[in-house]
Structure 1
Amino acid sequence: MRGGTASSHKERALSEVIGFVLILGIVMAAFSLYMVYGVPVQGRENEINHMNDVQDQFIAYKINVDSLWTNHQTGLAMSTSFPLGTAGQTAQGSTSIIPILQPVGSSGTLAINQRTTTPEIFIISSASYITNTTTMYSVGQSAIPTTQTYPNAPSSLLINISTANASWGNPTPGSVLIIGNGWNATVNVTPNISDCLTPGFGNNVTYQTGCYGSDITVTVVKNSVTSLNRAVVYSNITPGPLYSINLLDPAYGLQSVITYPATMTFSTTGTPALTTSTVAAQYAYQVQSPYTYSVPLGAVEYSANNNYWIPQSYYNQMGGVFLSQIDGITYKLPPEITFVNNGNGNITVNIVALAYDPANSGAIGGSSPAQVSTSLESNSGSLPYAPVSPNTWNASINITTPDPNAATMWANYLNSAANQTGGIPTTYYSVGTVTNGSYIQLKWINDGNPHITLQVAAANLSANVQSAGSS
C-alpha cells in the first residue's frame, strides 16, 4: 500500500512538471509567433504610416515653395520639418513594456543636392523672339492707305510722313486718319503762321524769312469723345524730312483702349502734299536661334532606412514630388511643366524652372526630426521670351540625369503632360530617352510663322538642412 501510494504521488508531481513545461512551451511558442509575425507586421505598419507622413510633409513643402515664387518673396526663409524615422515612437499596446516585443525603429536621411553623383540638368533650347530693349524689331512697313491686323501689342506703332509743301498758306497740307475699334486718331500737317512771326514794338510783327509755318499735330477721339485736340508733336516743320509719330506714346492715351488682336484702317488726305505716308509696327525683341537656358536642378530628398517595408525615397525637384523605390520612380505631384493645345497647330508651354543652388549641400541622418530652410534667390524671374503669342518656331526640353529610372519617369511625364493632359496630337512632338536623360521636341507647322508660345520663369532656391532643435 505504501509503495503504491508513493508511486501515485510521484506521478502526480511529474504531471505537474510536465504541465508547467507544456504551458511554458505554449507561452514561448506564442511569444515566438508574435516576434516572427506580429512584430514585423506592426513594424511594417509603423513604417508605412511614417512614409505617408513624409509624403504629406513633401506636399506641404511643395506648397510652401510654390508660394515663395508665386508671391516673389525673395530672401524670406521658409522652414519645413520632416520626421526622419519611427524609432519605436509609434509602437504602442500592452507589449510595449517588453523591448523585444517592439519593432525596431527605422531611421532616415534628409539631404540637399545629394540625389545623384553628377548634377541633373534642365535645358530648354528654342528659336524664339527674345526681348531686346536696345534694338527694335520692325514687322513690316506698309504704305498708306492700308488695313493692318496686329495679333500682339507692338512696342511702338509709327506713322511716318514727309511733305513737299509745309507752307502755312497751303490749303491742303495733308493728314493721316487711323480708325480702330471704338477710337480714331488723326496725324495732321497743321498750318500755323505764328511759328514764323516775331513780335516787335507796339503792334508791329515781323515775318521770319525762310520760315514755313506748319506743325504736325495729333487728334484722338475715343468712344466719340475728343480726348486730345491737335496736340503739337513737331513744330515749324520743313519740306522733305521724314517725321515719325508713335501712336502708342502714353501721352496720346490709346494704349488703354486698344485690345489685341487689333485691326486698324489707315487712310490719307492731301496726298499731293504728303510725299510719304507709311505705318510700321515695332517690337522690343528680336529672333534668336538658338536661345538656350540651362540650370542644375538639385533636389531635397528623404531616404528611409526601413527594416520591415521596402526602401523608399521622396524628393522635391522642379516643383514636383517624386517617389523613388527599387522598381522605379513615379511622381506624386507633377513638376512645373505644362502644355496646352490652342488649336491650328498652336501650342503653349508654361514652365517654372525651380532649381536649388548647387552651392548648397548637406545631409542629416537619424530618427529625430530635421528641417529644411528654403528661400527664393534675388536672381529669380521670367526668362526674356517676348511677351507675345506665339513667340517661338521650335523648342526642345531636355532633362539630363545619370539615373535611368529618372530618365524613364521624365519621358513618361512629358508624353503624358503633352498628349493626355495638354491634348497635343503626337504629330506635333516627339519624346524619348537617350543615354543621359530624356527629351521632348516640339514640332511646328512649316509655314514660316511661329506656332509655339513659351512662358518660362526661373525660380532659384537656396536651401539648407538642420536638426529641428538647432538654431
Structure 2
Amino acid sequence: MNRIYSEEGLSEVIGIIMILALIMVFLSIWVIYAVPADGRQQEIEHMGYIQDWFTQYKITADSLWINYDPVTGDGPSDITVSNSLVLGSQGGATYSQGLFLIFMRPFGSSGTISLENGSEWFEISNSSGVLLNEEIGSVQYKALNNYWISQTYYYEMGGVFLEQSDGTVNRVAPLFGFSSNGQVATLVIVNLDTEGSGTRSISGESQVRIDTSLTDSTEEYTFEPVSGEPYTINMTLRDASAAKAWRSILKELGGGTVTQTGNQTTITGLDSINYQYANYTVSLQSVAATFT
C-alpha cells in the first residue's frame, strides 16, 4: 500500500511539473512573440497619430497668417492656439497589475518634443552679395520606440518632414511655389520665435501642450528682375539627408535648377523672388499625465 501511495504521489508531482512547464512555455512564447507584436502595432499607430498631428499643426499655423490682413492688422494676431500632443505610445498611463504582469504587455515608447532654433538658415543672394538671411526654426518630435523604427517628425518653413535612419522625406509640402519655367519663386518665410535661443524640449510619455500665436504677417515683397544678375536661394539644413529631402520637394514643386551639396540645398537662376513673412511665437507646456 505504501508503494502504491508513493507512486500516486510521484505521478501528481510529475503532473504538476508538466503543467508548470507548459505554462512557462506558453508564457515564453507570449513574451517573445505576442508582446513585441502588440508593442509594434501600438507604436505604428502612435506614429500615424504623430503624422496626423503635424499635418493638423501645419494647417492651423497656415490658417493664422492666411486670415491676417497685414495692411489693416485685422485677423488672429496674438491669439494663442494650443495643440496637445501625447509623447508616448501609451500616453504615460501607469498600471497596477503587479510586477509579474508588467512583462506580459509591451513597454510604452517615449518621445521628445523640442523647439529647434539656430542651426538652419535661409539666404537669398545675387552677384552683389547677400540680400536676405533668416534663421529657420522648427517644431520637432523625436520618437524613442522600443519595437518599431525610431522616427523624427518636424515642421519648418510651412512643411512637414519625416526623418528615419535611412533618410528624410517630405510629408507635407512647404510654402514654396514656382512659375511654369521655374525662374520665379513665391514663398512664405516662417519665423518661429521660441522665446529664447537654442533648444527648448520636453521628454517623456505623457501629454504636452504646444502654444502658438501669430505675431504678424507681412505684405508680399519682391526682388525684381535685374539684368544679368539672377537670384540664388540657399538653405543650410540640419544634415545632408534633410538637404536631399528639400531638393526633392523643391524639384517636385517646379523649381528650375535645384542642387544639393552636403547639408545645403540651392536654387539658382531665379529671375525674381516674391516673399512674405509669417512670424509666430511658440512655447511648450507640460501637461500632467493621466493615471489609470
TM-score by length of 1: 0.54
**What are the Cα deviations for residues 8-28 of structure 1, in whole angstroms up to 9, with x where unaligned?**
332222122111111110101
**What are the Cα deviations for residues 399-430 of structure 1, in whole angstroms up to 9, with x where unaligned?**
102411111111222222226xxxxxxxxx32
Task: Provide the C-alpha distance between the structure 1 equivalents of 2:9 and 2:205, rounded to a whole number of angstroms.
Answer: 53
Provide the secondary structure at the position in 2 that maps to 1:86.
Answer: coil
Counterpart mapping for 1:280-429 below 5 A: 292-341=131-180, 347-357=183-193, 359-360=195-196, 361-378=199-216, 380-385=217-222, 391=225, 394-418=230-254, 429=256
Does residue 458 of structure 1 match 2:255?
Answer: no
- 1:441 corresponds to: 268
Q: 1:76 aligns with which of 76, 79, 86?
A: 79
Q: 2:33 aligns with which of 29, 37, 50?
A: 37
**What are the Cα deviations for residues 347-401 of structure 1, in whole angstroms up to 9, with x where unaligned?**
44221111212654421111111011111223x3135317xxx856622221102
Residues matched between the structures, number? 277
- 2:63 corresponds to: 67
1:91–1:102 CA contact under 8 A, matched in 2: no
> Of Structure 1 and Structure 2, which has the larger fraction of its residues in strand?
1
Task: Provide the C-alpha distance between the structure 2 equivalents of 1:365 and 1:89, rounded to a whole number of angstroms.
Answer: 11
- 2:71 corresponds to: none
**Deviation of 1:290 (Å):** 5.7
2:43–2:89 CA contact under 8 A, matched in 1: yes
**Deviation of 1:126 (Å):** 4.8
AA aligned to 2:27 is F
1:352–1:457 CA contact under 8 A, matched in 2: yes
Task: Provide the C-alpha distance between the structure 1 equivalents of 2:99 and 2:60, rounded to a whole number of angstroms.
Answer: 37
Task: Provide the C-alpha distance between the structure 1 equivalents of 2:288 and 2:32, rounded to a whole number of angstroms.
Answer: 36
Task: Provide the C-alpha distance between the structure 2 equivalents of 1:299 and 1:120, rounded to a whole number of angstroms.
Answer: 9
1:87–1:106 CA contact under 8 A, matched in 2: yes
| C-alpha RMSD of matched pairs (Å) | 2.9
Task: Provide the C-alpha distance between the structure 1 equivalents of 2:129 and 2:84, rounded to a whole number of angstroms.
Answer: 42
Task: Provide the C-alpha distance between the structure 2 equivalents of 1:330 and 1:91, rounded to a whole number of angstroms.
Answer: 35
AA aligned to 1:74 is S
1:340–1:347 CA contact under 8 A, matched in 2: yes
The 4+ residue runs of structure 1 with deviation greater than 4 A are 88-92, 94-97, 390-393
Task: Provide the C-alpha distance between the structure 1 equivalents of 2:121 and 2:182, rounded to a whole number of angstroms.
Answer: 27
Does residue 468 of structure 1 match 2:287?
Answer: yes
Q: 1:91 to 1:28 in 2, by over 3 A?
A: farther
**Deviation of 1:59 (Å):** 0.9
Counterpart mapping for 1:30-429 below 5 A: 30-72=26-68, 73-87=76-90, 98-113=101-116, 119-126=119-126, 292-341=131-180, 347-357=183-193, 359-360=195-196, 361-378=199-216, 380-385=217-222, 391=225, 394-418=230-254, 429=256
**Deviation of 1:89 (Å):** 6.5
Q: 1:123 to 1:291 in 2, by over 3 A?
A: closer
> Of Structure 1 and Structure 2, which has the larger fraction of its residues in helix?
2
Task: Provide the C-alpha distance between the structure 1 equivalents of 2:21 and 2:49, rounded to a whole number of angstroms.
Answer: 40
Provide the secondary structure at the position in 1 that maps to 2:221.
Answer: coil
Task: Provide the C-alpha distance between the structure 2 equivalents of 1:441 and 1:62, rounded to a whole number of angstroms.
Answer: 28
**Deviation of 1:57 (Å):** 1.0
1:46–1:91 CA contact under 8 A, matched in 2: no
AA aligned to 2:165 is I
AA aligned to 2:20 is L
Q: Structure 1 vs Structure 2: percent identity of aligned residues? A: 34
Task: Provide the C-alpha distance between the structure 1 equivalents of 2:103 and 2:208, rounded to a whole number of angstroms.
Answer: 28
- 1:25 corresponds to: 21
Task: Provide the C-alpha distance between the structure 2 equivalents of 1:336 and 1:96, rounded to a whole number of angstroms.
Answer: 51
**What are the Cα deviations for residues 49-95 of structure 1, in whole angstroms up to 9, with x where unaligned?**
11111111111110110011111232221111111112476899x99
2:35–2:104 CA contact under 8 A, matched in 1: yes
Provide the secondary structure at the position in 2 that maps to 1:335.
Answer: coil
